[in-house]
Amino acid sequence: MCGIIGYSGTGNDVQEVLLTGLSGLEYRGYDSAGFAISNGSLAVHKREGDVSGLEAEVPASNHDGLAGIGHTRWSTHGPPSDENAHPHTDCESRVAVVHNGIIENYQALRTELSTAGHEFESDTDTEVIPHLIESALENGATPDQAFRQAVDRLEGSYAVAAVFQADETIYVARNESPLVLGVGDDGHYLASDVPAFLEYTDRVIYLEDGQFARVSPSGIVVTDEQGAVIDTAIDTVDWDPEDAGKSGYDHYMLKEIHEQPTALRKCLRERVSELENTITVDELSSLESTGPIQFVACGTSYHAALYGARLLRENGRSAQCFLASEYDARSIPITDETLVVGVTQSGETADTMSALRAANQAGATTLALTNVVGSSAARECDHVMYIRAGPEIGVAATKTFVSQQAALAMLSGVLSNGDSPTLIKDLRGLPDKLQHVLDESTAQAVATEFVDADAYFFIGRGYNAPVALEGALKMKEITYKHAEGFAAGELKHGPLALVTERTPVFAVVTGTDAAKTIGNIKEVEARGAPVIAVTDSPEAVGQYASHVLAVPDAGPYLTPILANVQLQLVSYWVANQLDRSIDKPRNLAKSVTVE
């Protein structure tokens, strides 16, 4: 969702940095893009559509300015258009602003400013910000003072960056929307996410809610709401710039599916010891939890959380799973013994952050399970466990889901003292078995046969139920075809009415509930629907299915992880044959930072 990039320095061409950064932010999802450069006056270029279209329209790096800001917009207030694209300026084009988030009181501010004579050119909430700055400048404020006064008027979530004409400083503020600052040798950077400037520097400062920053060629100054300078730590991001490239694959999604064995090895490294029969997560050494456990998450992360909650219950712990957007700490029993686990790939998901903050206020202990070091969830929670999947650029989560499941299996071991030798052995063998799935999968042939289906159903029981939900979500996200996932036993309680010979059913059949799931397969076959079984028992199950996607036996807890990979591949190949925009599905964003 909406991306910000900024650069102030002398070592690189400003326009080149901004366009490179905008390209690096495309994975977040967007419908328009633009940038502004201070070079005496303000040079502003923006348009609806892709970054490549913007790049084709602008002159080739002809700006001499020292500071600039750029933005990829995911529409909230107003449709995609050139006028609604960021940056936005004031009446006299003295200041340009980019903004992520939602200004909740923008309508009142817009009415006030319009009454005072300000003219608006867009439908966005963002445009009130440059006009507020303009008003402060007219009253004698300096750029820094004007920026602060404008931000003080805002209600809601925001990451804001502003650049003034003839000024090499970028002014920045954040509240409930991510911003990271990059420390370079020949200039300094800011962005919504590290990949935007990763090829220039891996040294970062994470801005906190309520903090302001001034980014200039000479350095970065972070201050609090009162203007007092804050001493900030500089962290190093352990990501290789090449990790964010396609490495010869047609799509990021396919590359990231094939990176899953490596991602798993990183997730498990130094945590699972088959020799010592232990699961040890150093980040959680101080975590003590004996009370109930509540998971909060959204989308793919919610499906992972369902898996984790079931693992914990089976190992004797009280565990529940909630959609973060529906989590209400006022109506859910919470004590100081409650542990609330936020599962969030980016560590910035607005609904999940809101749930975690509510849990903190209610007295619970909070734990973030996330992929991003220094993210909001990692900083604000009492504890954090990293899944170590590396950068994931494709909007549809793949390797992060697999790594979340593996991390949750380890978390279950830690929280339930479940250092089972069998689970440990299965975890250690999981990356190689996943590689086997990738090497031997026939998912492309299945996709070819069923690419013209009317709809797709996914069913599974127990640990396979979240996999069915995730399989359907992937199909929806990247193919734009109708897909639904169900706990297998629920199929006959209504959805069976939709089953026809043109609705293939993907049945995940592993573990002790296989016999019951086979019964559900027979129900749909009796209605003429083709069945594709994803199973670790192809000989036993194959007789009941039209096709089989085989997976190795990785034990009752982990085999569903392998089944999920087969479904990822099916969705990818269906989308590929339909010529969909696989890495940037319509209307979707990688990191959803608004509620």
Is the sign of the CA dihedral 235, 240, 242, 247 positive or negative?
Answer: negative
Of the candidates 196, 195, 227, 200, the one whose C-alpha atom is nearest the C-alpha of residue 211 is: 227
Rg, C-alpha atoms of the chain: 25
Rounded distance between C-alpha atoms, residue 380 and residue 468, angstroms: 32
Which residue matches tokens 């952050």? 353
Q: Is 267 among the residues known to form the active site?
A: no
Structure tokens at 160: 């804001």
Rounded distance between C-alpha atoms, residue 140 and residue 519, angstroms: 77
- Which residue type is seen at 160? V
Q: What's the order of all strands across the beta sheet hosting 41-48?
A: 41-48, 32-39, 67-73, 3-9, 187-191, 180-183, 203-206, 235-236
Directed axis angle between helix 399-415 and helix 421-440, to 10°? 170
Q: Is 2 among the residues known to form the active site?
A: yes
Please identify which of the residues 266, 399, 476, 590 carries the catalytic annotation: 590
Half-sphere exposure of 85 (CA within 13 A, CB side): 21
Rounded distance between C-alpha atoms, residue 458 and residue 21, angstroms: 38
Rounded distance between C-alpha atoms, residue 260 and residue 432, angstroms: 10
Q: What is the DSSP string of 242-303?
A: GGGS-TT-SSHHHHHHHTHHHHHHHHHTTTEETTTTEE--GGGTT----S-EEEEE-HHHHH
DSSP-assigned beta bridge partners for residue 502: none
Please identify which of the residues 2, 267, 321, 381 carries the catalytic annotation: 2
Of the candidates 25, 39, 57, the one whose C-alpha atom is nearest the C-alpha of residue 163 is: 39
Q: What is the DSSP string of 516-543?
A: HHHHHHHHHHTTT--EEEEES-HHHHGG
Contact (Cβ atoms closer than 8 angstroms) between residue 528 and residue 522: no
Q: Are strands 219-223 and 212-216 parallel, antiparallel or unpaired?
A: antiparallel
Of the candidates 512, 578, 501, 488, the one whose C-alpha atom is nearest the C-alpha of residue 546 is: 501
233 contact partners, CB below 8 Å, separation of at least 6: 205
- Which residue type is seen at 205? I
Phi, psi of 3 (to 5 degrees): -125, 145
Q: Which residues are catalytic?
A: 2, 590
